[in-house]
A and B are shown apart, each in its own frame.
Chain A
Amino acid sequence: MSTVTDSLVLARRNVIRMSRIPEVLLFGLIQPVMFVLLFTYVFGGSLKIGNTTDAAVYKNFLMAGIFAQTVTFATAGASAGIAEDMHKGLVDRFRSLPMARGAVLTGRTLADLAQTALTLLVLAIVALLAGWRPGYAEPTNLARVLGGFGLLLLLGYAFTWIGALIGLSVRTPEAATSGGLIWLFPVTFISNAFVDTGQMTPWLRHVADWNPFSATVQACRELFGNPGVTGSDAWPMQHPVWASLLYSVLIVAVFRTLAVRKYRRAAE
């Protein structure tokens, strides 16, 4: 049996499912677009980035944060989808088939990755229309911008494995939807995504600087040539690209192991 083939078969299944419930995809798109517009026009002009409250600077500062938050929200989808599979009897069929054990979970996370990529594409277009400009503060190039999106996708993929574990741990699909989402708020807000961490109290700033999520945001700002790259001494802020890669790979390794083990033992 082949883990790769089985995972792809199940990824295909989940992509077909998503295409049959386009509302979910649509709402998944509306939310980040709303965030872009709300943050840009409500907070822009009041928040100080570096030494300025210029709305255009905040806009360019903000986008990396919104992109990163959007990719992590895929977690809720993974968590709900897996919880639903576990409770609908379909999982018994999968577990009685001679297929790779982790394929049900890998298939789901791969499908979520595809959905995240699509969301990110739409969001980038909206961001450009709203005035986001790569290279606004520092020069950059296409490869660096694409690299930034690569890191974002990797972060999103890593987080869906956390979602997978949540989906396997809760008792109802309803609980999975909220359980997959609520913890993302502190994770994405105690970070450098929406504000300059330099203005936080020291202990909170410390948390924000070491937050894996912040590393990706910082890396993206650097790669996009956007303003607001913090001058913190914390290692992840000094080496954000490496930190982002390392964190994401670590999250996949840890949470994939835990989730696959839990899947195997489910209902025993």
Chain B
Amino acid sequence: MPGAIYAEGLVKTFGEVRALDGVDLDVPESTVLGLLGPNGAGKTTAVRVLTTLLRPDAGRAVVAGLDVLKNPTAVRRSIGLSGQFAAVDEYLTGRENLQMVGRLYQMSARDAKKRANELLERFNLADAADRTAKTYSGGMRRRLDLAAALVVSPPVMFMDEPTTGLDPRNRQQLWEVIEELVAGGTTLLLTTQYLEEADRLAHDIAVVDHGKVIARGTSDELKARTGGERIEVVVHERADIPAAREVLVSHGLRGTVHEGCTVEQHTRKLTVPVTGGAKLLAEVIRELDARGIEIDDIGLRRPTLDDVFISLTGHAAEGGREPEGTGEDAPPDGPRGTLRSTSESEEVTK
């Protein structure tokens, strides 16, 4: 039996661009699928097809047991959509927004009012309920948008980049809300540009690029393919690079894509994939110190979307890692330009 969200061979072209190029998805009931990919990968198009906003050129999709193309109205009764941009009316108050959505889900005026109050309470918006959404902060608007998507407690939810553009605190809050929701049994399809987010929220991750699913698996499986965590060291003296490299290689993880240690000569930066986290980091620091190697910077880096992409496709995520104006709340940055430094490291080895 297909899952709560099922898609087969979805194709959608816009002029020359193949936004979806044969996408298959299967999300079992009460689980979360994270659709991970850069801007322009086709994530939003996939969500738009599954939520009946867009007709695919080819393929089939079933949501909550209903065919998206044959029975769009019934599908709309069973889904909630929280889009990339908070889809609330700025000139309406939070309460009016939620009541309107309730009414449009065909609730009676009384039920819509009651439900709006519940949601305002639950999403911590009760104090701002009678202010226009125009006066809300970005985080409040997202919460209101999410509340609007939950008016009928739909069994299947779609969230398109729910935290893009939010500051870390608001992102954290929203994650908690989403986790609560999933614990309640909702099936969720979530798109994100952040591996960290997919990691935390999704049971399964599908990596999308150029309209295709290029990898699928749990976050651990993907990380294993990506190289997982890595230690990054910047030594003070260029002369210390070979010695530092020796230390790192002895603790590094072998048999991955990033086999061995990569070196950026001009920045005196060494990177090695590891497992073992903070404990290992402490060991490496002690050993470097014992050998008298002076370090400017050291840290444990988690893989980013770029790392996943480089390891899966050989190229960095295209179309920019994130939209403008969100740089401040990006997750911790991993090493960039890993391919280039790998070739440099080979020179060092010779």
Which residue numbers of A lie inside 8 Å of B, CB to CB?
A: 1-2, 5-6, 9-10, 12-13, 16-17, 20-21, 88-90, 92-99, 103, 267-268
Contacts and interface: CB of A to CB of B under 8 A. Distances in A.
B132 interface: yes
Given A16-B91, A89-B86, A267 B104 contact: no
B76 A97 contact: yes
Contact of B101 (A1, A2, A16, A97): A97
B113 to A, nearest CB: 13
Nearest to A21: B91
Contact of A95 (B52, B55, B106): B52
A13 B132 contact: no
A57 B39 CA distance: 66
B81 A96 contact: yes
A20 B131 CA distance: 11
Contact of A92 (B73, B83, B89, B104): B83
B148 interface: yes
Interface string B98-134: 0011011110000000000000000000000000100
A91 to B, nearest CB: 8
A20 B92 CA distance: 8
Contacts of B53: 92, 95-96, 267
B100 A20 contact: no
Contact of B81 (A92, A99, A103): A92
A261 B6 CA distance: 29
A70 B100 CA distance: 31
Given A1-B73, A93-B81, A97-B76, A17 B104 contact: no
A16 B101 CA distance: 15
Interface string B51-76: 11111000000000000000001101
B85 A88 contact: yes
Nearest to A104: B104
Interface of B: 48, 51-55, 73-74, 76-77, 79, 81, 83-89, 91-92, 96, 100-101, 103-106, 132, 148
Q: Is the interface of A mostly helix, strand, loop or mixed?
A: helix
19 contacts: A2-B106, A12-B100, A13-B89, A13-B100, A16-B91, A20-B92, A21-B91, A88-B87, A89-B85, A89-B87, A90-B89, A92-B83, A92-B87, A93-B81, A93-B101, A97-B104, A98-B77, A99-B106, A267-B53
A99 B104 contact: yes
Contacts of B87: 88-90, 92-93
Given A13-B100, A16-B92, A95-B53, 10 more contacts: A1-B73, A20-B132, A92-B48, A92-B81, A96-B76, A97-B101, A98-B74, A98-B76, A98-B105, A267-B54
B282 to A, nearest CB: 47
Contacts of A1: 73, 106
Given A16-B96, A92-B83, A267-B53, A98 B148 contact: no
A234 to B, nearest CB: 45
A103 B101 CA distance: 13
Contacts of A95: 52-53
Nearest to B97: A13
B83 A17 contact: no
A103 B169 CA distance: 38
A56 B204 CA distance: 80
B92 A13 contact: yes
A88 B89 CA distance: 9
Contacts of B92: 13, 16-17, 20
Contacts of A93: 81, 83, 87-88, 101, 148
B83 to A, nearest CB: 5
A9 B100 contact: yes
A90 B91 contact: no
B244 to A, nearest CB: 50
A263 to B, nearest CB: 12
A89 B91 contact: no
A59 B68 CA distance: 60
Nearest to A18: B91
Nearest to A93: B87
Contacts of B77: 98
Given A9-B104, A98-B105, A89 B83 contact: yes
B85 A96 contact: no
A12 B105 CA distance: 16
Given A9-B100, A89-B84, A97 B105 contact: yes
A96 B68 CA distance: 11
A13 B90 CA distance: 11
Give 10 closest A-B pairs by Cβ, nearest first. A89-B85, A93-B87, A98-B76, A17-B91, A99-B104, A96-B81, A20-B91, A9-B103, A89-B87, A98-B77
B51 A96 contact: yes
A17 B52 CA distance: 28
B106 A98 contact: yes
A230 B84 CA distance: 58
Contacts of A10: 100, 104
Contact of A17 (B55, B86, B89, B103): B89
Nearest to A94: B104
Contacts of B91: 16-17, 20-21
Nearest to B51: A96
A6 B107 CA distance: 11
A38 to B, nearest CB: 32
Contacts of B100: 9-10, 12-13
A220 B48 CA distance: 49
Nearest to A101: B73
